[in-house]
Structure 1
Amino acid sequence: MHAIGKLRDFLKFLRSVKGDLANITAPPYFLAPYSVTEIGTCWVERPSLFAAPALEPDPALRALLVLKWILASLRRQLYIDSAPGGHSIKKPLNAFLGEIFRAHWSDGKATSHLVSEQVSHHPPITAVYMWDDEHGIRGEGYARVEMTFSGGIDIRQTGHAMLHIDRYDEDYLIFLPNCSVRGFMSGVLFPELSGTYHIVSSSGFVSDIVFSGTTLLGAGQRNAVKATLYRRDDPLKTPLYVVSGCWSDRFTICDGRTGEVMDVWDPAQPENAAAETVVAPLEDQDCWESRKAWQGVISALRRGDFGDTVTEKSKVENAQRRMRAAEKESNVTWQPLLFAPLSGGYEVFERLGSAVGWDLQADKTKGVWKVDRDKVKSLSRPFRPGLTPLGGDLDADIGRQGGKGERS
């Protein structure tokens, strides 16, 4: 009853908010102890899965491995601070403008890396770059997130991701799913996907992915998915491979011509476990890095101290409001460190997106965001000399916090 009571309070809170909910300050007991900038870790926390397409010589099987990688990543992406059948999913911390997250993963066979940056706050846009130099595979993407409430929380992502495999000079255009948060009446919130999405490869293959779930009356299967992979030039869309099952649990990959089971993805199997997320120790992180900047909030959430959560969170949020006001007064435009919007050059997107009628919608995301790989490689502390997320130089900010904090 305690959890249901909190959900009722949260429902009342949501009904009081008008418009986009993406930047709302949710009640502290619904917050996950990490930022939006960490969500992209789902794509690279299994390094061998991320690298697998680069090791496959057959183009159809490469496309299948990309499909498998994306579907296997959805569970961690959407079941935030939870697991299917467990406690309610949580809302990650709203990233502040200029926030950066860096990490890497290794499983003994491959090593993957990721960096993300909050490139816009109004509207909220996060850009991500991931790579494995040894195997010659890299991806990047960006998303504007909009949240609305109409009896449930509807989350819409505008943007896209692109994967590139060096060995085959091959590109993949990848969807970002919209999501509904359901379960307010039961007391356990869970994500549900619906609709049809696509992955398009420059080698001539398309994956159509259809998501479905339970109805309001309980019919259907929660988190169901069915995907078919076919040749782009085949008007009949004859399935080469078929994937079916549950994206948050087990799904089966079959040969579309024979029906033979080729693979079963089961996240519960030890060999499919995520690798450890490796980040620099807090004392070695820059003050603009997620875990350093939010360390007071993260610590308070983990020990269940919601009073301290609000206090620590307000320090960052109020400082950010002061910074935006000062920028407006001085007519200064914020410049991201690692990503920039393209002024043109959308040929790859347009060539692949035309296969499925995909609209770029760059006007809704302040452009198409592209990483500067040289800047990623050369990024070093301090990221922004003389400026911290609290609005001033480090020594002044430590004084503002009453002497607390670590030099970065």
Structure 2
Amino acid sequence: MEEKRIVLTKPYFSLDGDSCGDHQKPPNLIQLILSLFKNVRPGADLTKLQLPPHFNSTKSFLQYLGESIYCVNSDMLGKCNSGKTPLERFIAVVAWCISTMRPLIYGSAPYNAILGETHHVTRGTLNVLLEQVSHHPPVTALHATDEKENLEVLCCTYPNPKFYGTSVEVLMHGKRQLKLLNHGETYILSSPNISVKFIPPRIEWTGSCTIRCLETGLEAELSYGKKSFLGFRGNPRSIKGKIFDSSSSKPLFEIGGQWDRTITLKDLDRGEVRVIYNAKEVLSGLKTPIVNDPKGVWPSESAVVWGEVNEGILTGDWEKATEAKRAVEENQRELLKERKSKGETWIPKHFVVSYNKEDGWDCSPTEKIISPAPIVVPFNC
């Protein structure tokens, strides 16, 4: 039996312009981008477009999504649970939500996860499991549990990238839930979208995000800043928003700042202002997860599926990376043909998946508790 190649890399994003990843950028990036899209019609759905490895960041989308939950320097989720009042807990949830919007690096995208791919990681008492439950359209499910804190995170995410001539807009469909079981509170969170501009080259979070607690009636609206062609109308990394009571629509707090720097909260009754999120404290110095039990790593793990591709990118061997990526994609096509010939329907292992036109995709975990993983994030990460 061929030995599994488990290739894990550092969290990949840019804070204050510094790359935190292992990816090596190829030359003439703009030329590569323009050549890639020259035969794509404006408005086209890009979910089936296969990018060459030059554009990849040695991460699967599963890892990218998982890192937003488990790669932090401070226990943002624990703070959500430790608030003494519903309002304190809600403010902590807002800060946690902002922390999951990681800075992005232009010209670098995660791999499109293959059907059945998984990512299973532990950080402290938090256990996180992701599975690619659909390939066309791409749907990713996430379930995280922390028995010590008695909390649970559920996500069902299905991005929809579209090409518009001078930009790619990625609509981040789906919803996230955070359950604080000790307090009987469920928080529903949406996500802003991603905008990739070619001229001038930049990538940013755009649009709005909502957070609401079903039991307390507290809600928040966050607007992610955006600038024009000449760079006016504010900073693209800015956030403005408010927290209010949905029963009266009365604003309680104003939110402002930059999601890659600091976010402040202003009490509208008292006029007091305080910092609720500091990106440098939360995201700086993150380290690579480690494998505690190689034999316990599933063949479907992202670090195994894309291990050989990662090796090619990290060493700058683009021919090896291209061949390895093509092999992964060809294998998926062969498996699909085989299932069709047998009349079989693929069924996820860790989630029950449903879809309807009104609510979209929904992913329910088959297990109440996620078990500890063979891949572990160090505490000093």
Deviations 1:3-39 (A, max 9, x none): 7833123123123235321232212211110101112
Q: Is the Cα contact below 8 Å between 2:155 and 2:177 reproduced in 1? A: yes
Question: Kindly tell me: are residues 37 and 238 of structure 1, through their superposed partners in 2, closer, same or farther at Cα, counting changes over 3 Å?
Answer: same
Say whether residues 1:36 and 2:61 are aligned partners. yes
Question: Kindly tell me: are residues 293 and 3 of structure 1, through their superposed partners in 2, closer, same or farther at Cα, counting changes over 3 Å?
Answer: closer
Unaligned 5+ runs, structure 2: 1-24, 375-381
Say whether residues 1:369 and 2:356 are aligned partners. no
Query: Which SS does the other structure have where 1:62 is aligned?
Result: helix
Question: Kindly tell me: are residues 307 and 16 of structure 1, through their superposed partners in 2, closer, same or farther at Cα, counting changes over 3 Å?
Answer: same
The residue that corresponds to 1:54 in the other structure is: 81
Question: Kindly tell me: are residues 272 and 230 of structure 1, through their superposed partners in 2, closer, same or farther at Cα, counting changes over 3 Å?
Answer: farther
Distance 1:258 1:239 in 2: 13
After TM superposition, list the pairs within 5 Å mapping 1:1-16 onto structure 2: 5-16=28-39
Distance 2:278 2:242 in 1: 19
TM superposition score normalised by structure 1 = 0.78
Q: Could you tell me how far 1:314 is from its partner in structure 2?
A: 1.2
Deviations 1:138-162 (A, max 9, x none): 1101111111111111001221111
Deviations 1:301-352 (A, max 9, x none): 11111111111111111011000011111110001000112589xxxxxxxx
Higher helix share: 1
TM superposition score normalised by structure 2 = 0.83
The residue that corresponds to 1:102 in the other structure is: 120
The residue that corresponds to 1:401 in the other structure is: none
Query: Which SS does the other structure have where 2:84 is aligned?
Result: coil
Question: Kindly tell me: are residues 375 and 209 of structure 1, through their superposed partners in 2, closer, same or farther at Cα, counting changes over 3 Å?
Answer: closer
Query: Which SS does the other structure have where 1:193 is aligned?
Result: strand
Deviations 1:170-215 (A, max 9, x none): 1011102222112x234x5422312x33111021100011122111
Query: Which SS does the other structure have where 1:34 is aligned?
Result: strand
* Counterpart AA for 2:38: R
Say whether residues 1:153 and 2:168 are aligned partners. yes
Comparing 203-212 with 5-14, greater Cα deviation is found at 5-14
Question: Kindly tell me: are residues 146 and 342 of structure 1, through their superposed partners in 2, closer, same or farther at Cα, counting changes over 3 Å?
Answer: closer
Q: Could you tell me how far 1:112 is from its partner in structure 2?
A: 2.0
Distance 2:358 2:177 in 1: 13
Q: Is the Cα contact below 8 Å between 1:101 and 1:116 reproduced in 2? A: yes
Distance 1:161 1:11 in 2: 34
The residue that corresponds to 1:215 in the other structure is: 228
Say whether residues 1:248 and 2:260 are aligned partners. yes
Q: Is the Cα contact below 8 Å between 2:115 and 2:132 reproduced in 1? A: yes
Q: Is the Cα contact below 8 Å between 2:128 and 2:370 reproduced in 1? A: no
Comparing 267-276 with 66-75, greater Cα deviation is found at 267-276
Question: Kindly tell me: are residues 249 and 16 of structure 1, through their superposed partners in 2, closer, same or farther at Cα, counting changes over 3 Å?
Answer: farther
The residue that corresponds to 1:170 in the other structure is: 185
Distance 1:58 1:374 in 2: 27
Say whether residues 1:69 and 2:69 are aligned partners. no
Q: Is the Cα contact below 8 Å between 1:44 and 1:50 reproduced in 2? A: no
After TM superposition, list the pairs within 5 Å mapping 1:317-336 onto structure 2: 317-336=329-348
The residue that corresponds to 2:48 in the other structure is: 23
Q: Is the Cα contact below 8 Å between 2:259 and 2:279 reproduced in 1? A: no
Provide the aligned C-alpha RMSD in A: 2.5
The residue that corresponds to 2:279 in the other structure is: 267
Q: Could you tell me how far 1:43 is from its partner in structure 2?
A: 2.1
Q: Could you tell me how far 1:279 is from its partner in structure 2?
A: 4.5
Question: Kindly tell me: are residues 125 and 270 of structure 1, through their superposed partners in 2, closer, same or farther at Cα, counting changes over 3 Å?
Answer: closer
Q: Is the Cα contact below 8 Å between 2:81 and 2:149 reproduced in 1? A: yes
Deviations 1:78-102 (A, max 9, x none): x1xx4xxxxx351101100000001
Q: Is the Cα contact below 8 Å between 1:214 and 1:222 reproduced in 2? A: yes
Question: Kindly tell me: are residues 48 and 270 of structure 1, through their superposed partners in 2, closer, same or farther at Cα, counting changes over 3 Å?
Answer: closer
